[in-house]
């Protein structure tokens, strides 16, 4: 009942030896690198960075060749100069139009690849300074754009990857509830949140609570995993910093019945990328094994449920301590 593990293909953009952030490898080489990570079963792709209407068949064949399944197709709305003041919220209507069309193409490509999921990250949508923005307009543009994208194909799950900051000092959609609220305000079932573990921490959320809230609203569209120190999107390896919170995150995903992908979203600056992914997979698997052990013991499982339902922290802490160290 463990979640299958995937990764964002962008994780493999740089070769292991390279300190700088520039992509060095071809898409083919990146997919080959991903295929070296034991336990990895799927990939998130970015359009048009990795996959386009033109090369989609080639990419599909390549994925099949290395036995990695497509998880999502995510429109690139952040790296190009044209998005510098925003994509869905660009002040220039033409740029907003381009952003919407880019997202629709990602949906088209998803159809070809065989996935109906999008991680939507308009990474420049927000502001840096007090007094800089007309916030009401930013919200209006965001809602309009997402309506058009989501209605383009009601079967594609649109998960807004919320994040409180970086690269802007303030991103517009900075927490799980904002992403869920967009779905509610639009009244569209296929709009929700893409929950990134580190982003949840940056928004001062407890990631497990965000899982529960989003699952309750049926707006948990996808999951990224990594770790950070809560101040910035460090994207370091899983459980390096927030080990108990990752463990609780995986437990809560089980509790709410989320059986879908968990995608690694790491940015190892000085480390070997394939090794960083392997380490992260092993950490997840170590914890999943501990959870299997917990669930195999009905008494322990019920004791934990009872402690959680009555908010008895010491009892649940002791169960977890035994599970980890016992």
Question: Cβ closer to a copy of itself: 65 or 128?
Answer: 128
**In the complex, minimum distance from the CB of residue 70 to a copy of itself, in angstroms, rounded to a whole number:** 28
Burial class (CB in 10 A: 0-12, 13-18, 19+), 67: exposed
**In the complex, minimum distance from the CB of residue 53 to a copy of itself, in angstroms, rounded to a whole number:** 26
Question: Cβ closer to a copy of itself: 158 or 179?
Answer: 179
Question: Which one, of 173, 176, 159, 135, lies nearest residue 44 by Cα?
Answer: 159
**In the complex, minimum distance from the CB of residue 243 to a copy of itself, in angstroms, rounded to a whole number:** 5
d(CA 104, CA 152): 7
Question: Cβ closer to a copy of itself: 58 or 80?
Answer: 80
| Cross-strand pairs, 236 | 227
**In the complex, minimum distance from the CB of residue 35 to a copy of itself, in angstroms, rounded to a whole number:** 19
Question: Cβ closer to a copy of itself: 189 or 216?
Answer: 216
Question: Cβ closer to a copy of itself: 61 or 313?
Answer: 313
Contact predicate 193/176, CB 8 Å: yes
**In the complex, minimum distance from the CB of residue 274 to a copy of itself, in angstroms, rounded to a whole number:** 10
Question: Cβ closer to a copy of itself: 59 or 287?
Answer: 287
Contact predicate 89/96, CB 8 Å: yes
**In the complex, minimum distance from the CB of residue 251 to a copy of itself, in angstroms, rounded to a whole number:** 8
């Amino acid at each position: 009942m463990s979640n299958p593990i995937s990764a964002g293909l962008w994780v493999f953009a740089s070769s292991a030896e390279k300190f700088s952030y520039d992509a060095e490898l071809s898409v083919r080489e990146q997919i080959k690198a991903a295929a070296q990570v034991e336990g990895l079963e799927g990939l998130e792709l970015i359009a048009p960075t990795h996959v386009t209407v033109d090369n989609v068949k080639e990419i599909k064949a390549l994925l099949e060749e290395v036995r990695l399944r497509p998880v999502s197709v995510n429109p690139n709305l952040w790296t190009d100069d044209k998005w510098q003041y925003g994509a869905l919220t660009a002040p220039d209507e033409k740029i907003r139009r381009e952003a919407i069309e880019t997202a629709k193409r990602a949906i088209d490509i998803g159809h070809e690849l065989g996935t109906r999921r999008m991680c939507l990250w308009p990474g420049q949508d927000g502001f840096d300074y007090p007094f800089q923005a007309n916030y009401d307009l930013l919200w209006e543009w965001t809602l309009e754009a997402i309506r058009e994208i989501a209605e383009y194909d009601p079967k594609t799950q649109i998960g807004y990857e919320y994040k409180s900051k970086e690269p802007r000092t303030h991103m517009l959609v900075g927490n799980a509830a904002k992403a869920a609220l967009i779905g509610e305000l639009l009244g569209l079932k296929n709009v929700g949140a893409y929950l990134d573990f580190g982003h949840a921490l940056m928004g001062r959320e407890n990631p497990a609570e965000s899982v529960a809230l989003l699952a309750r609203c049926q707006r948990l569209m996808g999951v990224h995993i990594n770790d950070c120190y809560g101040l910035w999107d460090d994207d370091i390896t899983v459980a390096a910093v927030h080990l108990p919170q990752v463990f609780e995150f995986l437990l809560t995903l089980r509790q709410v019945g989320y059986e879908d992908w968990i995608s690694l979203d790491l940015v190892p600056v000085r480390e070997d990328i394939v090794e960083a992914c392997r380490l992260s997979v092993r950490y997840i698997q170590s914890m999943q094994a501990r959870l299997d052990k917990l669930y195999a013991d009905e008494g322990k499982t019920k004791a934990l449920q009872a402690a959680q339902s009555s908010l008895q922290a010491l009892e649940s802490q002791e169960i977890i301590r035994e599970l980890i160290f016992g």
